[in-house]
Structure formats: C-alpha cells, structure tokens
Structure 1
Amino acid sequence: MSTFVIRSQHSLTCGWSVNCEQVGVSYVNSRVNNTQNIQLPPQFTNYIRVSEVELVSFEIISDLVQYSVLISAKMSKPLNTLCDMLETYGGRDKVMKALCYSAKLVAGLQAKKNPELAKKFGTFSSKISGARATLRLVDDFPMLQYSLEYGLGKSEPDRTMSILGVLANIVDHIYYPVEKICWLAEHNLINVQDPDKWDVINSVFWVMSIYLNLMRTLRNFAMMQEHKTCLNSASNSKENIEKILARQRMEIITIVRLTLDFTHAVSTLPKGWLWGGRLETWHVGLIGTTSAAIGIYQFIKKRSKH
C-alpha cells in the first residue's frame, strides 16, 4: 500500500488521496478536515481504491507559492525600471553607455592575460560606441528646440548662469555638426583632407561642452549653499532646508559624473594637451562605467519622484 502525505492545519477544497492500494491521485471536491474517508467519483474507482485519507494542509506548497510571488514582485520592479529606461532615448543611451564602457574595462584588464577575449570585448565596445554615435545624428533638432526655448537664459537665477548656459548651447551647436563630419568620414561617406584634425576639433568641443556644464553645476551648487545659509539665519522651516540638502546631494553626484566625463574627454586630446593620450584602456573603461552607473542612478531617482 503506497502512501503520499501532505501536511496541513486548515480545511481544504482539494487534496491528494493517500494510503492507496494502487498508486494514484484523486481530486477531492468536498471540504476535508484532517483524516476522513472519501467517497471517490465513479470515474476513479477503476484506478484507485482508497481505504483511508490522511489529509494534511498544503503548508509547504503554500509557502512555495508565497515565495515565488514575493520573488516575482521583487524582480518585476527592477525589470519595470529597466523597461522604462529603454523606452526613452536618454535612458537607452545610458544603458548602452554602461555596456560600452564596461566592455572596454574588461578588454583593458584582459589585454595581457587573454588577448583573444580582450579583442572580443573591444569589438563589442566599439560597435556599441558606433551605435550611440549613429543615434546622435538626429540630436540637432532637439538641441535646436532646447536652445530656442532657453533663449538668452532669462529664466536663470543670475547673469553668470545665463552666460554659461548660452555659451554651452553655442558650443553644442558647433560640436554636433563636427561630430557628424567625423562620423561620415569614418564610414567613407565623405572625403576630408585630414580626418585626424577633425577628430581633434571634435574632442576640443566635447571638452568645452562638458566643462561649461560642469561650471554651471558648480555655480548652481554654490547658489544653493548661499540660499541654505540664508534660511538657517532666518530660522526658516526645517522642511525647506531638507529639500535644499536633497538637491545639493544630487548636484554633488552630478558634479562627480561631469568630472569623470571631463577627465575622459580630455584623454581623447592629442598628447601634450593636459593629460591627453595618457590614460590606458582600462582607465577609460573604469571612468566611463562609473559615469554610466551614476547616470543610471540619477535617471531612476528622477523617475521615482514623478
């Protein structure tokens, strides 16, 4: 006689039959408590003859179901966040940037230990970088719209911020066409006399763009600090001060990210220009990966507030 036991402390609407003279399973439609004799439907009589059923509740199964639901709920949140990022251009670019530079980091670290593996990761990084550059070909139009809305920066809190904002917009409007010329020359779609010269010009405007945005962020942080000092001296509400502190923390994170981007951008300049050409592959990979991780964190924090 075979026995299959599932222990339970509750009434059930279904169960497994046990203590069977023949091995089999029956579905019990009536409510069963503890141990009872069950009258099987006629269709089961040819298969199983039950002498006694010890019904135990489905604690184990219930726990497994609860754990699976809990795990599913925990996994769904990061999955939803990732999908939200991939649905936007900026979010997708951040994910691709993380893939690009993490692959470059691995390629740099494995260059001497495993050249073949390093070559594969280097190729992957290069292809992702090319895809990002291709997607930037149409960035002129959003940039033009932003510049027209920004104007002369009348909405900025002071003149310094306005000047920095206008200069940053001008530099970006020069940087984007230059990058397109480099992209076209790289893919042999146009002929330029000195492609390396265009690459240097592209790097210069990239450095200038990041530098101006870094200066704007530092200026904004300083203004927040002044505002916080005024609130403290005026014994203003604690809630307002906490809001400023939260904004300052985010500005500090932005400053770190822009500093990393600036370090990377300068490294693409020719040797003799600051630290141009002095960083190794894994250095660039580490800097880019860290910057991408910060960008993803900021994206998630920003989306969570809405």
Structure 2
Amino acid sequence: MDGLTLQIALRKWCELLDVHAGRDKILRITGYICTLISDLPGTRDTPVSKKILIVGRQISNSRTINRLLDDLPMLNRTLSYGVGSNEKDQIIRISNLISNAINTCYYPLEHIAWLGDQGVLAVESKSFWRAVSYCWASTMYLAIVRTVRTISMLVQHRRHTMHSGKPSDSECMKFRRGMIQELLSLIQQMSDMGLAVNSIPGFLWGGKLKPRHTGFLGIVSTFISIAKLLRLVP
C-alpha cells in the first residue's frame, strides 16, 4: 500500500469519525465484533470471552446514552417529511409515515427504559425495552417493504424502457447502480430485522440466535451502512 493510498484511507476514516453517524457506526460494528469473537470456538466461555463481552456491553451503553440526544433530529425529520405529499408512490409514502410515527415514539421509550435501568424512574424497564424492540422490528419491516417496492419499480421501469426501444448506456448504468444500492439496502435491513426480532424473546426466532449469529448480522448491517456513509457504494 503506497503513501497516497494510505492518505486517502486516513482521510476517509477521519470523514467517518468527524460526524455523529460515523462514530456511532464505528462503535456499533466494534460492539458486534466483540459479540462475534466472544462466541467463537477457542474463546467461548473463557475469561477472555467475558472481558470482550464487557467491552461490547460498554460500547452498547455508550450508544444508548448518545441516543438521548436524537429526539429533536428525529422530530425534525418527521416534520420535514410531513404527510409525504412529494412522494410519488403511495406504498412508500404510507410506510414512511408509519415509520416516522414509530420512530418518534422509539426514542422516548428507550429513554424511559434506560432511566428505569439506572433506577432514576420507578418503572419496569423490561416492558419498555420490549416495546423498543417491537418499534425497531416494525420499522425494519417497513423499510424492507419500501426497498422491495423500489426494486419492483426499477424492474418495471426497465421493462418499459426495453419495450420502448434499446436503452442507452447511461440508462443501463443507472439501472445497475439503482439495483446494487437497493439490494445492499435490503441485505442491511434484513440483517437488522434479524437482530430486532431476536431481541424479543418468544416472538418468532426471538432469543434463539447465538451471540456469533447476532455478531455476524450486526457486522454485515453496519459494514453496509459505513460503505454508504463513505460513498463507497456505486
């Protein structure tokens, strides 16, 4: 690796660390790496595994504390989207409206659960954490619906273009880029959906995934989101 490549890599890394979303993704992927390593053969049920899990839990706690500041940005996104009057597709519009409503409730619920864990509020935090998990799983399901709908629209547009005549090179490139982006988003969302459902014991596969499975899903999901932040996705 030459000096120029190292310089570019360092610049990209600093770009990631200079924004809140980037730091959160770095913490997230580090936490899931800890979860994965702790359950690998050779480290599972060892003192090293326990230490790695402690690091992972502390990283997760730090992300929860950082999200105490996310209420206003989420409210701003919800208000900016409004009723989605600029959205052309009704399925995407309705799913976005529902997601915005759920996400607006997500953060206050998480704050109450966290305050319950700390003993600040006299509440049963488990019930609130379960509600948080349901919110997460619901928004991931709706995100998958939107992505599948977008892929369907891309394919329909491609077929219409093919029937109208031979598509240009720029149209073909645009279609390929769109498909790659949406398929990566689908993989990311399905990974997060797996994690969200696993956090709800007794619901579908809730509580049945091994730490190595959750670690792998979290790494895949976060790696894709980091690639998007760094604009590495074509």
Is the shorter-chain TM-score for this pair beyond 0.5, marking a shared fold?
yes
Residue type at the aligned position of 1:196 = K
Which ranges of structure 1 fall in alignment gaps of 5 or more residues?
Answer: 1-69
Q: Check if 1:295 corresponds to 2:225.
A: yes
Deviations 1:106-165 (A, max 9, x none): 112258655110011101110111111111111111111111111111121211111111
Alignment of 1:245-284 (within 5 A): 245-271=176-202, 273-284=203-214
Partners of 1:217 and 1:255 within 8 A in 2: yes
Partners of 1:110 and 1:117 within 8 A in 2: no
Cα offset, 1:195, TM superposition? 2.0
Cα offset, 1:105, TM superposition? 0.6
Residue in structure 1 matching 2:18, options 87, 90, 112: 87
Residue in structure 2 matching 1:244, options 167, 175, 182: 175
Partners of 1:110 and 1:118 within 8 A in 2: no
Greater relative contact order structure (CA < 8 Å, 6+ sep): 2
Distance (whole Å) between structure 2 residues aligned to residue 267 and residue 111 of structure 1: 25
Partners of 2:38 and 2:44 within 8 A in 1: no
Cα offset, 1:251, TM superposition? 0.5
RMSD in angstroms over aligned alpha carbons? 1.7
Higher alpha-carbon deviation: 230-239 or 96-105:
230-239
Partners of 2:37 and 2:43 within 8 A in 1: no
Residue in structure 1 matching 2:126, options 184, 196, 204: 196
Moved over 4 A (4+): 110-114
Residue in structure 2 matching 1:97, options 12, 15, 28: 28
Distance (whole Å) between structure 1 residues aligned to residue 25 and residue 126 of structure 2: 27
Normalising to structure 2: TM-score of the pair? Answer: 0.94
Distance (whole Å) between structure 1 residues aligned to residue 63 and residue 168 of structure 2: 45
Q: What residue is the counterpart of 1:77 in the other structure?
A: 8
Q: For 2:39, what is the secondary structure of its paired residue?
A: helix
Distance (whole Å) between structure 1 residues aligned to residue 66 and residue 229 of structure 2: 19
Partners of 2:114 and 2:125 within 8 A in 1: no
Deviations 1:217-249 (A, max 9, x none): 111111111111111211242212311221111
Q: What residue is the counterpart of 1:21 in the other structure?
A: none
Alpha carbons of 1:113 and 1:149: their partners in 2 closer, same or farther (altered >3 Å)?
closer
Distance (whole Å) between structure 2 residues aligned to residue 153 and residue 110 of structure 1: 49
Partners of 2:133 and 2:196 within 8 A in 1: yes
Number of residue pairs matched by the alignment: 233
Q: What residue is the counterpart of 1:129 in the other structure?
A: 60
Q: For 2:230, what is the secondary structure of its paired residue?
A: helix
Q: What residue is the counterpart of 1:64 in the other structure?
A: none
Alpha carbons of 1:73 and 1:153: their partners in 2 closer, same or farther (altered >3 Å)?
same
Alignment of 1:159-174 (within 5 A): 159-174=90-105
More helix by share: 2
Residue in structure 2 matching 1:206, options 136, 140, 149: 136
Residue type at the aligned position of 1:129 = S
Residue type at the aligned position of 1:229 = R
Normalising to structure 1: TM-score of the pair? Answer: 0.73
Deviations 1:68-112 (A, max 9, x none): xx7221211111101001111111111111101001111122586
Q: For 1:301, what is the secondary structure of its paired residue?
A: coil
Distance (whole Å) between structure 2 residues aligned to residue 144 and residue 238 of structure 1: 41
Which ranges of structure 2 fall in alignment gaps of 5 or more residues?
Answer: none
Distance (whole Å) between structure 1 residues aligned to residue 193 and residue 212 of structure 2: 17
Higher alpha-carbon deviation: 246-255 or 150-159:
150-159
Q: Check if 1:285 corresponds to 2:215.
A: yes
